[in-house]
């Protein structure tokens, strides 16, 4: 068996919705010579799944969590962008209206000055 990196362990655990410190996992099995009982570990991913099951059963520091629903996050981002775009357009319209009022005021001032 090729020993996993801490990052590989962490990423695999996260893909299952399990928060696991990959370094802790690797350190634990490194200290045991990558043995499970007296037998060499064959499939490290299976060991991660066992850690997940045990964390639920025994309440270890690693916690299962629901992976974020990216579609909801994307929908919220899209709504936020729409709101920001509308606010930007509103501000631009207000700026243009103010510029028109200023031009009218300047023209009126010029007319008054000539009279």
Number of Cβ within 10 Å of residue 11's Cβ equals 13
- The one-character DSSP state at 41 is P
Q: Please give the structure tokens belonging to residue 26.
A: 């690797």
Angstrom CA distances, 26 to 30, 66, 74, stand at 6, 24, 34
pLDDT of residue 62: 52
Partners of 36 in beta bridges = 39
Partners of 63 in beta bridges = 19
pLDDT of residue 113: 85
Mean pLDDT of successive 10-residue segments in the chain (115 residues)?
Answer: 94 92 93 93 95 77 57 87 95 96 92 82
């Amino acid at each position: 068996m090729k020993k996993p990196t801490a990052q590989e362990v962490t990423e695999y655990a996260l893909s299952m919705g399990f928060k696991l410190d990959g370094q802790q996992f690797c350190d634990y099995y490194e200290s045991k010579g990558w043995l499970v009982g007296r037998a060499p570990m064959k499939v490290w991913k299976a060991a991660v799944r066992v850690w997940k099951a045990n964390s639920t059963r025994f309440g270890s520091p690693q916690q299962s969590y629901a992976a974020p629903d990216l579609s909801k996050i994307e929908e919220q981002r899209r709504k936020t962008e729409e709101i920001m775009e509308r606010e930007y357009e509103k501000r631009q319209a207000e700026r243009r209206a103010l510029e028109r009022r200023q031009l009218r005021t300047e023209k009126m001032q010029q007319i008054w000055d000539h009279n």
